[in-house]
Amino acid sequence: MQQQDLLIRDIKLYKAVSKLKKPISDATHTLTEISFVVLRMELHNGVVGESYLLSFQYSPEAIKGALNDCMEAVIGQPVYHTGAVYHKLNHLHEYFGQHGLLRWVQGAINIAMWDAWGKVLNQPIWKLFGTHREKVPLYGSGGWISYSIDELIGEVTDYVSRGFKAVKIKVGSPSWKRDLERLQQVRAAVGNDVNIMIDANQGMNLPDAIQLAKAVSDLNIYWFEEPLHHENFDGFQTLKQQTSISLAMGEREFSSLPLIELIKRKAIDIWQPDILRIGGVEPWRDSAAIAAGFHVPVLPHYYKDYDVPLLCTIPNGVGAESFDWIDGLIDNPMLVKDGFAYPHQQPGWGFNFIDEYLQTI
């Protein structure tokens, strides 16, 4: 294969939408649309790498514009220069800030490059880094605050019937006592052999978070995710000192610095990187290595079709979050059986969006 064959020739952007019966809410957001921006990257040899980011209804023109602004810097680069392109974009983004939407752009480009490179090598991503395991435990996510009790119980019992051993429930209602009542009913519905996690999406203040953490002590809650604003490091330290609950953080972070700050305060038990927000494969793995150095397990946010292959390549990967939102839009949904996810065997990330569900943007 000639060097020219491995250069990035073109990038196209698309939108895909997963059906949502009605709006869903957590403690801080109401989601009216489950939508995705899909990036397709073509090499001169015809290989196409793909990535997607979860966009909901937010800032579609800003996302499109930010991606388009990076095209000139990426086209013509060798597909295996994933790190070099990441740092090139870092330099270009310095003036307006390397966090936020511009970091998402780096992530989308990086993930598509890795997909294309895996396809060139005819190997799945998880076989490129060295393998620690070949399946990953999943937890069923959802439990939206906007759900009725019947909807909530229906969702968690469905997860259990499908073999899931853990479920996550949203908290952060106007009254923490309502959260407690809902969690009590979930525990009664799923029994004592299923782990329950709770997620406030940064929607609680410290006093209420302490009250809820203490009140659920007899429900055997596995962890408390994002109870406070993600930059309130001292608040997490206080919450950890005053309660016995495990704390999970990471999905809102654009670098590993918050992980380091929380480790210093002994205020994190589970690290949850979001592969798009943190910028792609290399920074995801860098953060996991930092966590491993302090014996912190990694259980990432949302993107199971990317996270499961990467979790198979690190020693401290303990699980992944499961939503089914893209399964009906892609050609090869991930195998999920008895509460475990199995990484794709096909080259690259192992799946592609189906053309008929894509709208050019």
The pLDDT assigned to 3 comes to 85
pLDDT for 91 equals: 93
Domain identity same for 30 and 138: no
Placement of tokens 């918050």 in the chain:
258
Residues 102 and 131 in one domain: no
The domain that holds 134 is classified in CATH as 3.20.20.120
Shared domain for 228 and 292, answered yes or no, is yes
Tell me, yes or no, whether 134 and 116 share the same domain.
no
Q: Could you please report the per-residue DSSP string of 202-222?
A: T---HHHHHHHHHHTGGGTEE
Kindly report, residue by residue over 285-317, the tens digit of the pLDDT.
999 999 999 999 999 999 999 999 999 999 999
CA-based end-to-end distance of the chain: 33
pLDDT of res. 244: 86
- Other Cβ atoms less than 10 A from the Cβ of 68: the count is 13
Tell whether 77 and 171 lie within a shared domain: no
Whether residue 102 sits in one domain with residue 224: no
For residue range 139-150, list pLDDT tens digits in order. 999 999 999 999
What is the per-residue pLDDT for 2? 81
Report the domain count for the chain.
Answer: 2
Same domain, 155 and 298: yes
pLDDT of residue 186: 98
Please say whether the beta carbons of 107 and 251 come within 8 A.
Answer: no
Neighbours of 94 (CB within 10 A): 10
Neighbours of 266 (CB within 10 A): 13
Return the pLDDT at 208. 98
The pLDDT value recorded for residue 33 is: 94
Same domain for 103 and 250, yes or no, is: no
Distance CA 98, CA 100 (A): 7
Strand order in the sheet with 8-18: 48-54, 34-43, 8-18, 359-360
CB of 345 within 8 A of CB of 334? no
Res 140: pLDDT: 97
Q: Distance (Å, rounded) from C-alpha 188 to C-alpha 185? A: 5
Residues 246 and 275 in one domain: yes
Cross-strand pairs, 317: 298
Segments of the chain with pLDDT less than 70: none
Q: CA gyration radius for the chain?
A: 20
Look up residue 11 and give its two tokens. 């990038």
Statement to judge: residues 209 and 94 lie in one domain? no
Question: Are 235 and 195 in the same domain?
Answer: yes
Q: Which domain holds residue 108?
A: 3-121+356-360
Q: Same structural domain for residues 171 and 100?
A: no
Name the nearest CA neighbour of 44 among 84, 75, 88. Answer: 75
- What CATH number should be reported for the domain holding residue 111? 3.30.390.10
Query: What's the pLDDT at 157?
Result: 97
3-state secondary structure 267-287: CCCEECCCHHHHCCHHHHHHH
Q: What are phi and psi of 39, to 5 degrees?
A: -110, 130
**Helix, strand, or coil (residue 238):** helix
Q: Exposure string (b/e) for 315-352, b if CB count within 10 Å is 16 or more?
A: ebbebbbbeebbeebbeeebebeebbbebbebbbbbbb
